[in-house]
Each structure stands twice: as structure tokens, then as C-alpha cells.
Structure 1
Amino acid sequence: MAYTIPESIRSTATAGERLLFRTLKTYLPEDFIVYYEPEIHGKRPDFVIIGPDLGLIVLEVKDYTKNTILQINHDEWLLHTSTGSQTAVKSPLKQAREYVFHIADFLKKDKNLINLEGKYKYQLKFPFGFGAVFTRLTQKDFIENDLYSVIEPSFCLTRDEIDPEKEGFSEEILIEKILNMFSVPYRLREPLTKGEIDTIRFHLFPEVRISAEFKQPVPYQDQLLLSLHDIRTMDLHQENLAKQIGDKNRLIRGVAGSGKTLILSSRAKILAKEQPDWKILILCYNISLSRNIEQMIFHMMNEPDNLFDFDFSKEDAVKKQHNIIVRNFHSWLKNDLKITEGNIPGVLEKIKNGEAILPKYDAILIDEGQDFEASWFELVSSLLNPDTKSLLLVEDRAQTIYKRKRSYLQDTGLSFQGRSKVLNINYRNTAQIVKFAWDFYKTNSSLKYKVVNKEFEGEIIAPQSTRRRGVEPAIIKKDNFFQEAQLVAKQISRLHKEKNVPLSEVLILYRIKKSYHTSYIDILQKALKEQGIEYFWLTENNDSKRNFDKDDDRVKISTIDSSKGLDFQAVFIVNIDNMPFALEEDVEREVSLLYIGMTRAKEYLCLSYSGESEFTKYFEGLLIERQSGKTDEKSG
């Protein structure tokens, strides 16, 4: 079964398009990707198929009957219309051919996708083809009406070749015909790699981009070649969600590191592009997360869709205006609605009575929805355009650190039954970090018995890790916090110098900034200064949160609470002996907090402590296990 994007076809599609969609999805190999009506740099072909053994094929679908067609040639078809008049249209095959050459000419500009030597120098390293599908004409109709004289059989599919209910249908013939829809017969010697397919997706669909290092395009023997490295795109499941979640209300429930914020931001970009007149609002709880999303949206909206035609020499290019507003909830209340949280009940009453004049939004997207109060949801949903009902919520219950009662139907007036998706694969962290963090959560959380894998509102989702492996998280015990801070500073210096980890990719997390006898932040700052490490105290105050710039060349220092939604290459969580915090009665919140902190790390995670607590006892046990394991290895 092939992977289709979108997951299901729109209800307004023609009967023939729906039939072909089902057939391709059911009978093509599982490593084939089928796009229905994708928007590709100003063009919108009916179907685009990408397969590792195939290459790329464009299909144009027509629901013509034999009574519709009056006269045909290679360029133009004369048709009868339903009103009895006649109209001339471009040949379906010519249309499909133009689409695929438009795509191929674009992809040829990336030197990672072309042959750089040999007979096919500067040609794509994979075949590309095209075809037309006639959903209401059979092979018999083609023969009787002499249509094969204009359209070669190898470039078209008829009803009896795509309809499994027809006697002459054959899965083998369907696949064989699609595999041979090329002007020049050409089979791949080696299948396209995942990286090459991701590169194709990266260029054709800017909304799936996560990151890539690219060198400025340079003319070379009449070829404009772009060199891309370290390409990262959404996986197909994430892409599907970003592209399909726009119709009405949707709920995405995902584990830490599953790309929830990325999908939300990508969805906002798609909506802004498709609906330029819409007013789009993104809300979250944390100031620092809202700042991070704001920067992500800025990057997404200003990154050129076409890297080849972008003038990289103009660093101060005019920034694109967009209709996306990003706010943390309380900032939104204060600056946009001009109210406080205490005013919400009264404002809701005024809205019900039609007495309040407040802004309306065509689409609202909420990140970290588990942190929102019921009344907040009620307020948000009351300001949503009732015609669009475009509300997207994303959440992870395992990251719940605020006690919130939850009934989305009651809070928003919208049912999410059958309108929710689960993301349970963690892409952010290495397999070692995922296991380390989840083992801690399962062992220490009272909610561990609610951990299931099925989709149901209210459960904690167990994460599955990607195959990306790394080093084991470090656990370090010192005699006092001075030693702890000095060790952290030295480790950061070593990672920066020996592992080339940018300082902007290092995060230090703390639970409390000082006790009655120790100022943890002062000691930490002093240790960093001694190593010549520049830092930014993200959670010093509200201004520092608003001025947070993820990419400046400084180590970030933050509370765990404010790190939600962020990720860094290396994360140091200090002073674990202050967890669970003595003044915090809700130990469950402390478990979630530390889990959140650990899952901020993409590659390197280090936990340190110099005292004793319930949590440090757990880590002491791990240290003993590790030491025992090493002893066993030596003795073995």
C-alpha cells in the first residue's frame, strides 16, 4: 500500500479522481509516495508519484467520455461541453508532459540530484515521466475511436486498467505501465536513497523543510548548481498532518521531540499562503516558546521557496509581510484583548450577550495545549470564525506541569472525536536519551499505569525513538555546587572545542536560582566566565524572555519550565538535588518537569547534583548499575 499525501482525498474530487486515488494507494508498493493535487511552484498537477525504483511520474486525470471528445491532435483537443457548445483544451498528455518538465528543470539545478559526469552529464540521476488517465474510457473505446493514434498506449491508463472491479484489471499490469511512462526507456541501476527522496521533497514542497546547509548557487558551464548538505525534512506522517489538518478543528497528540511545534508552524505557513486574507493566531503558554515560534515563523515565511533564484548577496532583503500573530497567552490577553486573566469570566458573559467587541480569528493554533485552563479554551474558541472553525491543538500529556481539568468538547464546543492524530516517534533525541528520559518518567510518575499506545483523549503516549544513536546521558555527583558548576563549564568548553558544538546549541537548566545559603545562578555565571564562555540568562526576567534569540552565539541558562518546546544539541541540568522541590506538593509536576528538561537534548545530556533527593536516589541506582555493568564486562 503506497503512502498518500493527503491521507484521504477531498470530498469535492471527481469520481474518477477518487477511484484512481484508491487504486494507487492500494496497489502501488509501500515505498511509493502518491501526492494528490500538490502545489509545486505555481503548478498543480493531479497526481505526482515518487518511488525509489521508479523515479518521478506526473499523471493528469480526465473524466471525458467518448461523446465528449469531438476532435483530437497531439497539442489540442476539441470537446463538447455540457451546454452543447464546443471548447478547445490542451492535450492531457501535453499538459502532464509540461508539468513534469517544469519539475525536472527545477530539480536539475541541485547538483546532488544530477549526474556530474558520463553520458548523462547534467541530467537527473533518476527517470521522470508522465501520463494521462481516462477514468471513463476503456481500452475498447480507445481502439474504436482511434485514440491510440494520438496517445501511445504506454502513456495512458483507461478505466479497465485502474478499476479493480473490472474483469481485465491486473495489479501487475498497472504497476508495469506506471514503471514505463518515460519518453526514454530508463530503469534505475540503484534505487533512490531516502536522502535523495528527501532532497526532492525539500525542493518541491518548501513547507516540509526543517533545515539544510546550502552553499550559494554558482553558474557552472551554463548550469546553476546548488550544493545542499545536512538536509532535514519532515517525515511523511508529519507532512501529511501539516497539509491535511486545516479542515475545521484538529487535535495532535505527540511525545516530546515528535515535531509538534514544527507541524503547527508549517500548518500556519500553509494557511497563510492559501488564505492570505485570513487572520491567523498562534498561542502558547510560555514567553520563551512564543519567541521561538515567532522566530521559526519568521524564518519559514522569509525563506525563499526557490533557492536557485534567491539573491544570497542581499542580506538585508525586504522581509515578507504575513498575517500570522504569535503570542503567549497572557501577552495576548494584555496587548490584544486589553484584559487580564481575572476578567475572563466577565468577558465570556459579554461575548454570549453580544456586548463585547473583540478581534476575531479565521484560524487559531495552540501549542502545548495541556497547559491551558478550561476558561482559556472557552475564550479562544469564542473568538474563532464560526465559518472556518479552524482550530488546531497540539499537546503532550507527559509534559503536563500545570493542573488543568480537561474536556475539549466542553471547553471549546468542538468535538475532536475522529479528528485527532498521534505522533509517537521522537525525532529530536537520540535513542539513548529517549530511553533514559522515559525510564525515569515511567519509574517515578504516578501516571505510569495510564501509559498506553492507543489513541484516546487523556492517556500518556509512550515514545518510540528513531534509530539515531548517540552517547549515554551523563550522571555526575559532586561534593558541592561550586564543583558542579566548574565541571559543567569545562564540559561545555570541551564540547565546543572538541565536538564543534556551537555555544548557541548549549542549554543549562535549573529548578531554582537560589536557596537561603546558595545563589546557584551567581556561581554558575562565575564558572562560565572563568572558561571565557558567553551566556544569556533567558529567564532572568520577562524582558530577557522576550529578547531570547536562539541563534545568538551564547549558552542559554533557563528554568526547566521555560524550556518547553525548545531543543538544543547539548543540555546540562544542574542541581538535581533540588528536585522534587521541597515547597512543591505536587511531585507529579516535578517528574514531568525533569522529563521535559531531559527531552530538550538532541545529542548530549548531562545531569549533575551535589546533594540528595528522591530523584538523585534514582540516578544513584543507575550509576551503580552502570558501574556494575562495566565490572561485568571486565570480568567477562
Structure 2
Amino acid sequence: MNFKTGMISLESSPSGSSAAGGQRRIISPSRDDLSTLRQPLTQGERKVLEVFDAALDPAWEIYIQPHLNGLRPDFVLMNPHVGIAVFEVKDWDLDAMHYFVTDHRPPELQGRKDGKTFSLQGQNPITKVNYYRDAIYKLYCPRLKQNAGFAAITAGVIFPFANTQRVRDLFSAFITCDEQDRLARYQPITGIAELAAGQIAKIFPESTRQSSNVMREEFAADLRGWLVEPDFSATQRRPLEMDANQRMLAEDRTTSGYRRIKGPAGSGKSLVLASRAAKLANEGKSVLVATYNITLWHYLRDLVVRALSDPRGYRNIVFVNFHSWCKQVCMDVGWSDRYDDLWKSGGAGTVLDTELPQLVASASGMDDAPRYDAILVDEGQDYRPLWWNTLRRFLKPGGEMLLVADATQDVYGTAGAWTDDTMSGAGFRGAWAQLDVSYRLPPAALPLVRDFVTRYLPKKGAELPALAQGALDLSPAQLRWVQCGSDEAIRTCVFELQRMMQQTGSTDLANADITFLASDVVTGNNVVAALQDCEIASVATFAHDKQERRREKMAFYMGDARIKATTVHSFKGWETPLLVIHIDATAGAQSLALIYVGLTRLKRRASGSCLTVVCSNTELVDFGRTWPDFVSG
């Protein structure tokens, strides 16, 4: 299904296509990107891909290691008029060890080598591919006809370097259809001979069909959103792109070594910081990249990886949020008891704001205290001057410090502490370096964001994102505002997330690109639970227990194959092309700053992006009415 709103349509072909029979075939990721996959193709998988591309009708789409809601089959093939196939490929040398299946029930695949026996059931390709087939039928193509629709899906296994009969003999306990059974064509098992001869009719018997009574284009569209490569994965393979101003700031240092950069959301502040960190690490310098937001350092780490000329330089960089770093310093210098005593004597706010930074500052003279050639701080408006000055004590002589900030994103009320006198005492001289142009936001969203800042945020320190001069509006965006009551917020958020899923697949955007930003943990948990009831998995940060929530934040990663769900606080600094934001009824100064942060997380894409706001705040109705697609519940 391709869902349209207003005058904007997100129609395009998924990236990665190759010529076949004079017609273009969809391959995702594209052939040009295969050498840069995080999990490179094995030799056998490359052979299989060559046969698929050479022998299949061009209408068959090929998805390589697709992000299938957390599942990762080797290949999924799809023809909107014929059917679907999922394949597991195993490069196993069956002579490398003794493979066998136990006699007990259920049977278990095991291996024996050097006198040791171990389970291989988790790698069993027969059970895995059948599980994938079942998931596609029940969850990801729910409109396939019951029972008859199961015949639209092939579950195949290929052993590129083993004899077919030997494979069938080994896995006989797991094969439900005899080789002569008519249903065996839906569960093909093949090996070296068929692959070497390119016998596609044996490798994938259903590929010879020209049509099917149970498969239609709309069913294929249901599945595509789970198959196309997410924006994050594709972006991660590309080097960082910077304008001349950003590049100068990333490559040069000031005479004093101290630099501060300000700019609106999406202007490239984190980009400059990551590029600078990579350059110093490439030179063998020790670098501390410090954040306040626990999840943000994952994003910075991914940027740095793209900028490193030598992957070994990664070992020179420490990514950490400030308070975790404080605890680690106490452990390093043997002050674990003093650290524990802080929490016994004071409240959490006092400890985190002042007592812990003061304790760590006094540890800077200890022999075991860490030292860095460079200390780089992102989202500096969230830092207190005391924290910054504590970090300064751990800088090596002649080292450098970088602070990047945007007072418009002052969600903790700390930006006001950075007065001119405070800045002078923090080592800074001269004016801020300025970044003005927003490269993140789609052009259509910029006027709305600027209007929000002008209407609702303090004038002092506000950074208005600007469009680059001469820039063309080549990044369409669907901008939707849904006004509803608080009692309808959960249901509306789930509906809008499912609605957005209907727009993926036919574009080069995936369901894994969708991010939901909740106004609070309770709302987030309710939305995630409702999605789970619909068999939609998500990676979320809403655990009730604070320790468990911290663990969730540490594991939050845009490369995860599931839908993302977190709070606006935890998504500061990040970006995504598909975004649903919930705004509750609160309208305080910090709540308004949070809304600005949420609105500016939208990332432009040439193929389009989508932002939906679900708002229960009646004070924002007039602003919502200015949006291209306004809906009142």
C-alpha cells in the first residue's frame, strides 16, 4: 500500500538495482554497497546472489540480509505477481567436523570436534528458514489468504559446498516433505551441483511461475517495509559530508586549544565534533567524547566510525556520558568507597549536580587519574559550568577542549548558567564559532520550526535554522498534525505509527526507520504494549526500573531492525526520516523546548520523509492549524 496525504507522494524504487534481461531489478542493498556491509557476504552467499540475479525474471526483487523486524534471513525474494521466498545459505564443509542429529524428541543438530560435542541447533537452517516463513505469513503479510496463502511463500536452504543428498540425509529429521511430495517444491534443499549449474528450477521451483492466485501487489507492499535497507544502515557506509565552514572547524585548532561552537539543530555541530575526534584519533591522540544524554554517544560513535581513515584509531577514543565517566574516575583512583558515601549522605540532585563533580575534580591530581589530549563535549547547553571545569582538570598540557551547544534546546534549564563571565572562567576567549544552515530538516519543515521558535521559545539565545542559499527543495516531506484528547493519545499514536508503516517499502525507507518519541515513560510503555499486541516489535527505553531503563538506553541503537521508541530527552542529537511525536498537555518552558527538540529530529531524504505530531495540548492548536495536514479528533 502506498498512502498519500495532501499533494505529497513518497513513491520511488528502493535503492540498489541491477540490469537483468533488459529490465531493472530491485536489489537492496545495491551491488555497489555489498562490499561495505557490516556483515560481509560469505563466498557461498555471493555465489547464490549471482545465480539469483542471472536466472530469475527481473520482476523478482532481491533483499540481502533484510531487517525483518529483528529477524535476519540471508535472502528474501519477492515477485508481486507470483510469491515470496526466504533462503538460508550455509557455507559449511560437512567434513570439517562430525555433524549429527540426536535421536531424542525433539531432535537436535549437534557437532563433534576434537573430542568435544556441542549443540548447533541455533544454526539449524531448516528450522530457521521455516520460522522465517511462518513469521512472514502470520505477521508481515497478514492479508495473504488463510491456508492457501501459505503456498505463496517458499522456504529454501542452499549448501553451496556440499552434496545435496548428503545434506538431506543429515537434516532428514527436520524435513517434513518427502522429495517426491508435491509440497517439497515449497521447501527446496539444494547443494553444490545445482548451484554450479545455475539450475534455478531446482534451487527455487516456484520461480518458474508467471502468476499466482494468492499473491498481489498490495501483499508485497505489506512486506517491503520490513525488507528494504533502513536509512541508518545505508548512511553508515558513506563518509561524512561537510561544507567549508564545518570542515575548517573540524580540521583546525585555536591557538589556546579551546573552541566553542553554536548553531541550530541540524547545522552539523555533532558532525564537526565527530570529525575532529576522528582526526585526532587518526593522529594517535587520546580523545574523550563526553555527553549528558546516555544514548547520544551511540550516535556520535557511528559518526566517528565514518570519519576514521584508520579503524585502529577507534581505540584512542572514549565515548561516555558525564556521570558515568565520573564514577569510572573514582574507580580508577581507588575511591569507590568515597563514591558510595556520596549517595548515602545527599540527594540525587545535589550529588549529580555538585558533590560528585567536586569529588572527581579533587581526584585529578592522583597518579591513576586518566589524562586526555582532547576533551570534546556535545550538547553543551545541558552541561553545568562546574562539570565542564571538572573535565578541564583531566586535559593534558597543550591539549584541546571543544564545546558545542544550542541554547534553543535547553530542556534542563541549564543554558542560562553559561554567562559571559562563566565562559571567560571556563577557558574561552573571543566569539563563538557559528553554524547557521540546517542540513537535516526538509525545506518544507523549516518555516514551521522557525515559527514555533518565534511563538513559544525565549528570544535570548534562540538559534533559528536557516536554509542554505540557492538550495532547491528536492526533499519532499509529509507534515501531519493530529490534535486529540489525552484519553485518545495512545490509540492515536498507534494508529499513526501503523499508518506510517503503510508508506514504507515502495520507497527506500523501511519500518526500521520509524521512531516514536513519547512525552513520558508511561505513555511510551502503553504505546509499545499496544504495538506488541499487533505483533510489531520495537526497541524501547521505557522500563519502570531505573537501572533497567539505563541498560535499555545503553543498548538503544538506530541500526536495530525494529521500530524505535524512546523519549525526546533520549533522542536529543539523533535524527530519522520517519517520526511520530506525542505531545502531552503540559506547556511549561522546558516542555516547549522539548517539543522543539522533537520537531528538529526529522531528517531530510531525497525520497521523502514523514513527521506526524500527536498533540493533546490545546494551547498549540493554532500552531497545528498552520501545518499542511491538520486533523482534529
Q: 2:410 aligns with which of 386, 389, 400?
A: 400
8 Å CA contact 1:560, 1:593 repeated in 2 = yes
Instruction: Give the whole-Å Cα distance in 1 for the aligned partners of 2:512 and 2:308.
Output: 22
8 Å CA contact 2:264, 2:438 repeated in 1 = yes
* Cα-to-partner distance string for 1:399-448 (whole Å, 9 max, x where unaligned): 11112211476467444333631001000011112221221121012x12
What are the within-5 Å matches in structure 2 for residues 152-301 of structure 1?
Answer: 233-245=241-253, 247=255, 248-274=257-283, 276=284, 278-301=285-308
Instruction: Give the whole-Å Cα distance in 1 for the aligned partners of 2:430 and 2:259.
Output: 9
- The offset of 1:474, in angstroms, is 0.7
* Cα-to-partner distance string for 1:107-149 (whole Å, 9 max, x where unaligned): xxxxxxxxxxxxxxxxxxxxxxxxxxxxxxxxxxxxxxxxxxx
Question: Residues 232, 345 of structure 1: CA spacing in aligned structure 2 closer, same or farther, 3 A cutoff?
Answer: closer
Instruction: Give the whole-Å Cα distance in 2 for the aligned partners of 1:474 and 1:496.
Output: 16
8 Å CA contact 1:257, 1:427 repeated in 2 = yes
Q: 2:538 aligns with which of 513, 523, 535?
A: 535
Q: 2:386 aligns with which of 343, 358, 375?
A: 375
**Secondary structure at 2:320's aligned position in 1?**
strand
Which TM-score applies when normalising by structure 1?
0.52
- The offset of 1:301, in angstroms, is 3.3
Instruction: Give the whole-Å Cα distance in 2 for the aligned partners of 1:501 and 1:213.
Output: 10
**Secondary structure at 2:288's aligned position in 1?**
strand
* Cα-to-partner distance string for 1:39-97 (whole Å, 9 max, x where unaligned): xxxxxxxxxxxxxxxxxxxxxxxxxxxxxxxxxxxxxxxxxxxxxxxxxxxxxxxxxxx
Question: Residues 258, 610 of structure 1: CA spacing in aligned structure 2 closer, same or farther, 3 A cutoff?
Answer: closer
2:525 aligned residue: 521
Instruction: Give the whole-Å Cα distance in 2 for the aligned partners of 1:474 and 1:439.
Output: 16
8 Å CA contact 1:363, 1:391 repeated in 2 = yes
2:509 aligned residue: 501
8 Å CA contact 1:255, 1:398 repeated in 2 = yes
Instruction: Give the whole-Å Cα distance in 2 for the aligned partners of 1:572 and 1:398.
Output: 21
The question of 1:614 aligning with 2:619 is answered yes
Q: 1:473 aligns with which of 459, 473, 479?
A: 479
What are the within-5 Å matches in structure 2 for residues 411-430 of structure 1?
Answer: 413-418=425-430, 420-430=432-442
Alignment-mate amino acid for residue 476 of structure 2: G
Instruction: Give the whole-Å Cα distance in 2 for the aligned partners of 1:262 and 1:565.
Output: 10
The question of 1:600 aligning with 2:601 is answered yes
The question of 1:325 aligning with 2:328 is answered no
Q: Alignment length, in residue pairs?
A: 365
2:51 aligned residue: none
The question of 1:387 aligning with 2:401 is answered no
Question: Residues 271, 508 of structure 1: CA spacing in aligned structure 2 closer, same or farther, 3 A cutoff?
Answer: same
Question: Residues 392, 283 of structure 1: CA spacing in aligned structure 2 closer, same or farther, 3 A cutoff?
Answer: same
- The offset of 1:600, in angstroms, is 0.4
Question: Residues 302, 334 of structure 1: CA spacing in aligned structure 2 closer, same or farther, 3 A cutoff?
Answer: farther
8 Å CA contact 1:269, 1:301 repeated in 2 = yes
1:218 aligned residue: none
8 Å CA contact 2:515, 2:576 repeated in 1 = yes
2:130 aligned residue: none
8 Å CA contact 1:347, 1:356 repeated in 2 = no
Alignment-mate amino acid for residue 477 of structure 1: Q
- The offset of 1:348, in angstroms, is 6.6
**Secondary structure at 1:566's aligned position in 2?**
coil
Instruction: Give the whole-Å Cα distance in 1 for the aligned partners of 2:408 and 2:393.
Output: 28
**Secondary structure at 1:615's aligned position in 2?**
helix
1:27 aligned residue: none
8 Å CA contact 1:378, 1:412 repeated in 2 = no
Question: Residues 460, 417 of structure 1: CA spacing in aligned structure 2 closer, same or farther, 3 A cutoff?
Answer: farther
**Secondary structure at 2:556's aligned position in 1?**
coil
* Cα-to-partner distance string for 1:335-383 (whole Å, 9 max, x where unaligned): 234446353464377369x578622221100001010012101101122
Instruction: Give the whole-Å Cα distance in 2 for the aligned partners of 1:417 and 1:411.
Output: 8
Alignment-mate amino acid for residue 253 of structure 2: I
8 Å CA contact 1:505, 1:569 repeated in 2 = yes
Instruction: Give the whole-Å Cα distance in 2 for the aligned partners of 1:243 and 1:211.
Output: 25
* Cα-to-partner distance string for 1:562-614 (whole Å, 9 max, x where unaligned): 1111000111102x23332xxxxxx2211110010010011434344364432
Question: Residues 296, 379 of structure 1: CA spacing in aligned structure 2 closer, same or farther, 3 A cutoff?
Answer: same
Alignment-mate amino acid for residue 322 of structure 1: R
Question: Residues 612, 370 of structure 1: CA spacing in aligned structure 2 closer, same or farther, 3 A cutoff?
Answer: closer
Alignment-mate amino acid for residue 474 of structure 1: R
2:372 aligned residue: 361
The question of 1:443 aligning with 2:455 is answered yes
**Which runs of 5 or more structure 2 residues have no equivalent in the other structure?**
1-230, 332-338, 340-350, 544-548
**Secondary structure at 1:465's aligned position in 2?**
coil
**Secondary structure at 1:473's aligned position in 2?**
strand
Question: Residues 542, 481 of structure 1: CA spacing in aligned structure 2 closer, same or farther, 3 A cutoff?
Answer: same
Instruction: Give the whole-Å Cα distance in 2 for the aligned partners of 1:524 and 1:379.
Output: 39
Instruction: Give the whole-Å Cα distance in 2 for the aligned partners of 1:408 and 1:494.
Output: 50
Question: Residues 624, 499 of structure 1: CA spacing in aligned structure 2 closer, same or farther, 3 A cutoff?
Answer: closer
- The offset of 1:270, in angstroms, is 0.6
Question: Residues 383, 231 of structure 1: CA spacing in aligned structure 2 closer, same or farther, 3 A cutoff?
Answer: closer
Alignment-mate amino acid for residue 544 of structure 1: E
Alignment-mate amino acid for residue 569 of structure 1: P
Which TM-score applies when normalising by structure 2?
0.52
2:494 aligned residue: 486
8 Å CA contact 1:284, 1:366 repeated in 2 = yes
- The offset of 1:625, in angstroms, is 9.1
Question: Residues 257, 371 of structure 1: CA spacing in aligned structure 2 closer, same or farther, 3 A cutoff?
Answer: same
Question: Residues 591, 303 of structure 1: CA spacing in aligned structure 2 closer, same or farther, 3 A cutoff?
Answer: farther
Instruction: Give the whole-Å Cα distance in 1 for the aligned partners of 2:316 and 2:620.
Output: 45
Instruction: Give the whole-Å Cα distance in 2 for the aligned partners of 1:407 and 1:471.
Output: 38
Instruction: Give the whole-Å Cα distance in 1 for the aligned partners of 2:516 and 2:503.
Output: 14
Alignment-mate amino acid for residue 462 of structure 2: I
Instruction: Give the whole-Å Cα distance in 2 for the aligned partners of 1:462 and 1:610.
Output: 23
Question: Residues 350, 543 of structure 1: CA spacing in aligned structure 2 closer, same or farther, 3 A cutoff?
Answer: closer
- The offset of 1:262, in angstroms, is 1.1
Instruction: Give the whole-Å Cα distance in 2 for the aligned partners of 1:326 and 1:424.
Output: 27
Largest Rg, 1 or 2:
1
**Secondary structure at 1:287's aligned position in 2?**
coil
Question: Residues 349, 476 of structure 1: CA spacing in aligned structure 2 closer, same or farther, 3 A cutoff?
Answer: closer
What are the within-5 Å matches in structure 2 for residues 137-156 of structure 1?
Answer: none
Instruction: Give the whole-Å Cα distance in 2 for the aligned partners of 1:566 and 1:259.
Output: 11
Instruction: Give the whole-Å Cα distance in 1 for the aligned partners of 2:629 and 2:507.
Output: 28
- The offset of 1:507, in angstroms, is 1.0
1:573 aligned residue: 581
- The offset of 1:461, in angstroms, is 2.2
**Further displaced range: 355-364 or 500-509:** 355-364
Question: Residues 324, 378 of structure 1: CA spacing in aligned structure 2 closer, same or farther, 3 A cutoff?
Answer: same
Instruction: Give the whole-Å Cα distance in 2 for the aligned partners of 1:249 and 1:610.
Output: 42
Instruction: Give the whole-Å Cα distance in 2 for the aligned partners of 1:272 and 1:579.
Output: 44
1:145 aligned residue: none
- The offset of 1:261, in angstroms, is 0.7
**Which runs of 5 or more structure 1 residues have no equivalent in the other structure?**
1-209, 215-227, 305-318, 451-458, 581-586, 628-636
**Secondary structure at 2:386's aligned position in 1?**
helix
**Secondary structure at 1:488's aligned position in 2?**
helix
Instruction: Give the whole-Å Cα distance in 1 for the aligned partners of 2:268 and 2:436.
Output: 10
* Cα-to-partner distance string for 1:467-508 (whole Å, 9 max, x where unaligned): 344225111234623541332232221122333312332211
* Cα-to-partner distance string for 1:194-224 (whole Å, 9 max, x where unaligned): xxxxxxxxxxxxxxxx99969xxxxxxxxxx
Q: Give the CA RMSD over aligned residues.
A: 3.3
- The offset of 1:297, in angstroms, is 2.6
Identity fraction in percent: 24
